[in-house]
Amino acid sequence: MNILVIEDEPKTSAYLRKGLVENGFTVDVCGDGVDGLHAALGAAYDLIVLDVTLPGQDGWSILKELRRHGLLTPVLFLTARDAVPDRVKGLELGADDYLVKPFAFSELLARLRTILRRGSGRQADVLRVSDLEMDLVRHRASRGEKRLDLTPKEFLLLALLVRRAGEVLSRTLIAEQVWDMNFDSDTNVVDVHVRRLRAKVADPFDKKLIHTVRGMGYVLEERDGSAHPAAALLVARRPLDGLVRAGVIRADPDGYGLSILGAGGKPGLGGRSFSGGPGVAAG
């Protein structure tokens, strides 16, 4: 889950970021009202933690602007003011809750989860692929009857794969989404975490669900034994024509996979094209 924190006190925002990340959330922080509004309008967040007194633009007007743009992202107001009129004003403007500083992080987390559970109808709380089920609010994952014991990072990684099931996600994209960082230099971190995740989520089960698409990344999906279409696409881009011509490999007729031919396998395709693929031509 992605959370945007708009808060100008560095100490508070650092405290929030740390606590939320430890609890498996992805967090963006803006210390200025104008930047905060811009960020909120520019990306899809599951929730916004919004301070009232901010440089540039105050929390009230940010919320007003968001709702005026039709953005229904839940908002939790965070402020030192605890006057009743302020609280009423916030709720009237469409805030989902209101928390007075100083606050205990556990209190914030509880409120935040209540809001997320209530949801705005944009996203289901429970995601399912095959027998894999993820409850995003309660932070629980299971396969069939078996509860999966995941670290916050593993949960986040799995949630990303499940949310975008069927889509091949590159290591760079995964690094950005899960670690909120650019791992260009070391996407090995992603591989290591995927391996650990697989040990818990895939290896003990018949259906593996998490698949490697060589040279591209990872995909989570239920498969009936055939490779992902992307594999055929990849092969078309790679200098494997020689193997096709030599009859060592062949694209499956449905275009969804490759066959490795045994000795004496006929070089049926003549190295020209794969049949039935998603517009793929070899050579």
* Bridge partners for 251 per DSSP: 258
Nearest to 73, CA basis, from 51, 46, 96: 46
Segment interacting with Ca ion (CB under 5 A) among 43-51, 60-68, 197-205, 243-251: 43-51
Residue among 5 and 141 whose Cβ is closer to Ca ion:
5
Contact by Cβ (8 Å): 246, 269: no
Q: Is 53 in the site for Ca ion (CB under 5 A)?
A: yes
List the beta strands (DSSP E) in 101-216.
Answer: 126-129, 132-135, 140-143, 146-148, 210-213
130 phi and psi angles, rounded to 5 deg:
55, -130
| Shortest distance in whole angstroms from residue 16 CB to Ca ion | 12
Contacts of 267 (CB under 8 A, 6+ apart): 244, 245, 246, 247
Segment interacting with Ca ion (CB under 5 A) among 50-58, 130-138, 184-192, 260-268: 50-58
Residue among 86 and 176 whose Cβ is closer to Ca ion:
86
Give the other-Cβ count within 10 Å of 184's Cβ.
10
For 43, counting Cβ atoms within 10 Å of its Cβ (0-12 exposed, 13-18 middle, 19+ buried), the class is exposed
| Shortest distance in whole angstroms from residue 78 CB to Ca ion | 8
Contact by Cβ (8 Å): 271, 282: yes
Q: Is 13 in the site for Ca ion (CB under 5 A)?
A: no
For 23, counting Cβ atoms within 10 Å of its Cβ (0-12 exposed, 13-18 middle, 19+ buried), the class is middle
| Shortest distance in whole angstroms from residue 257 CB to Ca ion | 56
Segment interacting with Ca ion (CB under 5 A) among 19-27, 53-61, 226-234, 256-264: 53-61
List the interface residues with Ca ion, window 223-252 (CB under 5 A). none
H/E run at residue 47: strand 47-51
Q: Is 51 in the site for Ca ion (CB under 5 A)?
A: yes
Q: Is 154 in the site for Ca ion (CB under 5 A)?
A: no
Q: Is 8 in the site for Ca ion (CB under 5 A)?
A: yes
Q: Is 57 in the site for Ca ion (CB under 5 A)?
A: no
For residue 225, the Cα-to-chain-centroid distance in whole angstroms is: 26
Residue among 53 and 273 whose Cβ is closer to Ca ion:
53
Segment interacting with Ca ion (CB under 5 A) among 4-12, 20-28, 42-50, 199-207: 4-12
Residue among 77 and 218 whose Cβ is closer to Ca ion:
77
Q: Is 49 in the site for Ca ion (CB under 5 A)?
A: no
| Shortest distance in whole angstroms from residue 238 CB to Ca ion | 54
Contacts of 190 (CB under 8 A, 6+ apart): 171, 174, 175, 178, 183
Segment interacting with Ca ion (CB under 5 A) among 48-56, 60-68, 84-92, 96-104: 48-56
Spatial distance between the Cα atoms of 91 and 85, rounded to a whole number of angstroms: 10
Residue 150 in tokens = 């995941």
Residue among 13 and 26 whose Cβ is closer to Ca ion:
13
Count of positions on this chain that bind Ca ion (CB under 5 A) = 3
| Shortest distance in whole angstroms from residue 72 CB to Ca ion | 24
Segment interacting with Ca ion (CB under 5 A) among 8-16, 112-120, 195-203, 260-268: 8-16
Enumerate binding residues for Ca ion (CB under 5 A): 8, 51, 53
